């Protein structure tokens, strides 16, 4: 990669980060909403830990993985809506007249989502600790958790870019949010898969990649170092990120041809 590309990424990334940090409407809901749900679910479902075979006696530890996934879902909105706004206002057309490379644009655009992802991860960890959650994998586990969380944010942010480039509409990107939430709800977010009693739901959760992302994060909190869960978590997050970036790159080419 040439230094020119790095310079271009730096400029786009700086704009993306500043833009994200200047929009409390992007930051506040992505921090408050997951923590609110954590507080409600952790209290409401604490009794679930009494079910034989439940892996921990602290539901807040078990549920702490969920805010990380919800935070990643918000990255779809944030990255996608920002790019859609650039398309709607004609800024992307003006960028197309410059020598800016597509790769620099896409990577740079995700910088804002990634910075917000780091802020989210730190907040969720601190709130989790304050609420009494434990980290079975210790301090190194916290670092791995943040790394996995960043990779997931990158992957979902890329999906937001694809949606923005394909539709060119912020409203359409916002419309994706409920759909992605369905993936979260139909996963092993509230119970381990082996304890889900309803057959069809267990099958859906097993085929749902979000289950493995949550289980990867959760393994560091509840189990310690679980190689299989981590490999699946990192593998699926990396696959989503690669596929997302490839699709975003193709969509960018189509979008620029149209303009």
Partner 1 sequence: MSRAGFRSVALGVAWRQIHNFIFNPAFLVPSLIFPLFFFAAFAGGLSTVSKVPSFNFPTGYTAFQFVFVVLQSAAFGGVFSGFSVARDFETGFARRFMLTAPNRAAIIVGYSMAALTRALLTWSLLIVVALIAGMKIDGNGVDLFGLFGLALIVNIGASLWSTGVAMRIRSIQGGPLMQIPVFLLLFMAPVYVPLPLLSGWIHAVASVNPTTALLQAGRGFISGNPTGVLVAFGAAIGLALVFAFWARGGLRRAEAAS
- Which CB sits closer to partner 1, 54 or 225? 54
Q: Using CB under 8 A, pick the residue from 2, 3, 47, 227 that binds partner 1.
A: 47
161 neighbors 249 (Cβ within 8 angstroms): no
Residue 223 in the binding site for partner 1 (CB under 8 A): no
Q: Which residue in 40, 122, 143, 239 binds partner 1 (CB under 8 A)?
A: 40
Residue 196 binding partner 1, by CB under 8 A = yes
Q: How far is the CB of 239 from partner 1 (least distance, A)?
A: 25
What is the helix (H) or strand (E) element at residue 148, kind and residue range?
Answer: helix 138-167
Tokens coding 82 = 């920002």
- Given 5, 55, 167, 201, the residue binding partner 1 (CB under 8 A): 201
36 binds partner 1 (CB under 8 A): yes
Using the 8-state DSSP alphabet, how is residue 97 labeled? T
| Residue 43 touches partner 1, criterion: CB under 8 A | yes
Contact partners, residue 130, CB within 8 Å, separation at least 6: none
- Closest to partner 1 by CB, 49 or 249: 49
What backbone torsions phi and psi does residue 187 show, to the nearest 5 degrees? -120, -170
Binding footprint of partner 1, residue count (CB under 8 A): 27
Q: Both tokens of residue 90?
A: 């004609």
Please answer whether residues 192 and 226 qualify as being in contact, where contact means their C-beta atoms are separated by less than 8 angstroms: no
Least distance from C-beta 203 to partner 1, angstroms?
11
> Minimum Å distance from CB 228 to partner 1?
23
Cβ-proximal residues to 91 (8 Å cutoff; 6+ apart), any chain: 85
In contact, 80 and 58? CB cutoff 8 Å: no
Q: Which of residues 152-191 bind partner 1 (CB under 8 A)?
A: 175, 178, 182, 185-186, 189-191
96: left (phi over 0), alpha (psi -120 to 50) or beta: alpha
Given the rule CB under 8 A, which of 47-55, 108-116, 121-129, 154-162 is the region that contacts partner 1?
47-55
């Amino acid at each position: 990669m040439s230094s020119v590309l790095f310079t271009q990424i730096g400029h786009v990334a700086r704009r993306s980060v500043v833009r994200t940090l200047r929009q409390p409407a992007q930051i506040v809901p992505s921090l408050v909403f997951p923590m609110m749900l954590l507080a409600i679910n952790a209290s409401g479902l604490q009794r679930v830990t009494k079910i034989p075979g439940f892996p921990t006696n602290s539901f807040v530890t078990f549920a702490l993985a969920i805010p990380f996934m919800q935070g990643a879902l918000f990255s779809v909105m944030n990255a996608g809506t920002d790019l859609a706004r650039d398309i709607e206002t004609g800024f992307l057309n003006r960028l197309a007249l410059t020598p800016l490379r597509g790769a620099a644009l896409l990577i740079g655009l995700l910088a804002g989502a990634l910075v917000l992802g780091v802020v989210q991860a730190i907040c969720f960890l601190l709130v989790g600790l304050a609420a009494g959650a434990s980290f079975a994998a210790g301090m190194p586990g916290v670092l791995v958790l943040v790394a996995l969380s960043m990779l997931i944010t990158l992957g979902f942010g890329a999906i937001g870019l694809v949606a923005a480039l394909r539709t060119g509409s912020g409203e359409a990107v916002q419309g994706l949010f409920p759909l992605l939430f369905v993936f979260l709800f139909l996963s092993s977010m509230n119970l381990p898969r082996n304890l889900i009693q309803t057959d069809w739901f267990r099958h859906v959760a097993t085929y749902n990649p979000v289950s493995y992302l949550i289980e990867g994060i959760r393994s560091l909190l509840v189990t310690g170092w679980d190689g299989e869960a981590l490999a699946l978590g990192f593998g699926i997050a990396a696959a989503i990120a690669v596929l997302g970036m490839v699709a975003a790159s193709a969509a960018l080419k189509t979008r620029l041809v149209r303009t």
